[in-house]
Every structure is written in structure tokens, then in C-alpha cells.
Chains A and B, each alone.
Chain A
């Protein structure tokens, strides 16, 4: 079974631009969550989607948004990029309701903001 796929793996943007990251969950998984990892703040929860609905949201500004499609694929968008948005963005999937915290992570999208 294929794992969680994230694209692109690496990207470079400049301040003020916007970026869209994509995540394809494991087949059959309906929950997708996003995390940001930086050396200073570690792994931080962004948001979680299930059946195209946002279930949970972390403490990030409104510039960070996401959505989930009917096939469970998800995208996250960061608008008006800032230098501090440079990070590894990780997507994780799980079957869905009733999960106990066993998530399957992708390899991440590394964003560099210049």
C-alpha cells in the first residue's frame, strides 16, 4: 500500500508570495492533518480534516488555510509568506473516526522563504 505522498518536496519562495502544498493520504484513510516543524518551535499542529470538514485547528494565523477534497486528498495554503514560515510541512493520514493517535506521516515539503 502506498504511503502518504506530499508534493512538492522542496520549494523556495520569496516574502509576500503564497504557496500551496499537496498531500495524498494512504488509500482508504479519510483523516488528514498538517504539521509545521521548525528548529525553534518543533512540531506544531496546524489543522485536521475529515470528510472535507476541518475538525481541529492549531494556533496559527489566518494566512494558513487548508482544504480536503472528496477523494481525501488535501491541500494547505500559506499566503503572504514571511521568513518565519520557512519550515518542514508534514502531512499525516489516519483511517478516521475512532483513531487513537497512530498517524502515518509523509516525508514533508520543505519550504524556504527568502
Chain B
């Protein structure tokens, strides 16, 4: 599975849009880009997944350019409750051995 690289930490303020970029230069053809959110002492929670172009759900958007070497998770109008660690992963179908990196620790300030 491809290694992903993302910023260690980010700070934002309530109401702002937050974009977290993830690099995955060696992503395989059958890999998806999957993002998880984790609060302290809880299990990670699936946020969004995409293969290419743009995916949007009620929580976030995911932008993946044509070369698929990077992706951007976009969180619109963050609130204090969005303070968490966000993980970017490359995942393959039928294969649930997820490789988590250090993630991005997002702090949302009032």
C-alpha cells in the first residue's frame, strides 16, 4: 500500500474552511484515498473516500487531481467539534489492512 504524507498539525478558527493536503506519490492503480477522523480515546471514524476527481458528502469534500499523486480534504465552516486527528490512507479493495500514518492534528479555535 502506498505511503501517505500529510502535515503534522494545523490550526483554524470556527467558521473557516480547512483544507488538508495529503501526498501519495506511489499510489497504486487500484488504491482508493480514504480519510478518517479520530477524537481522543475513540476509534477512527470514516469521513470520505474517493478514487479521482471530486467527491462530496454531508461532512466533507475530497479533491483528487488526475495524476492522483495528492489529494485534499476540505472541511467547510469548521466548528470546535471538528478538533481531531485526520488520517489520509491509501486503501485497496478487499483488503482491510489499513496503514495509518501520524495523521494531521487539527485544532479549531473560537
For the side of the interface on B, what is the size category?
20 to 34
Interface size, chain A (Cβ < 8 Å): 30
Residues from chain A with a CB closer than 8 A to the CB of B101 are 42
Among B44, B49, B87, B97, the residue within 8 A (CB) of A100 is B49
Q: Roughly how many angstroms separate A106 CA and B44 CA in the complex, as a whole number?
A: 8
A24 at the interface (CB under 8 A from B): no
Asked if A108 is an interface residue, CB under 8 A from chain B, the answer is: yes
Please, which residues of chain B bring their CB within 8 A of the CB of A2?
none
Instruction: Note all chain A residues with C-beta closer than 8 A to B49.
Output: 100-102
Chain B contact residues, CB within 8 Å of chain A: 32, 34, 41-46, 49, 87, 89, 91-103
A74 at the interface (CB under 8 A from B): no
A45 to B44, CA, bound (A): 13
Chain A positions near chain B (C-beta within 8 angstroms)? 4, 31, 33, 35, 42-45, 48, 55-56, 58, 88, 90-92, 94, 97-108, 110
Count A-B contacts at CB 8 Å: 75
Question: What's the dominant secondary structure at chain A's contact region?
Answer: strand
**B96–A42 contact, CB under 8 A?**
no
Q: Is the CB of B32 within 8 A of A100?
A: yes
**Contact with A42, one of B42, B92, B100 (Cβ below 8 angstroms):** B100
- Nearest CB of A to B93, in Å: 5
Q: Are A105 and B91 in contact (CB under 8 A)?
A: no
Q: Output the nearest chain B residue to A32 by Cβ-Cβ distance.
A: B96
A5 to B94, CA, bound (A): 23
Asked whether A101 lies within 8 Å of B98 as measured between CB atoms, the reply is: yes
Top 4 closest A-B pairs, CB basis? A101-B91, A105-B43, A43-B100, A101-B34
On whether A100 and B41 interact (CB within 8 A), knowing A33-B97, A42-B100, A45-B98, the answer reads no
Contact between chains at A31 and B100 (CB < 8 Å): no
- In angstroms, Cα B41 to Cα A103, docked, is 17
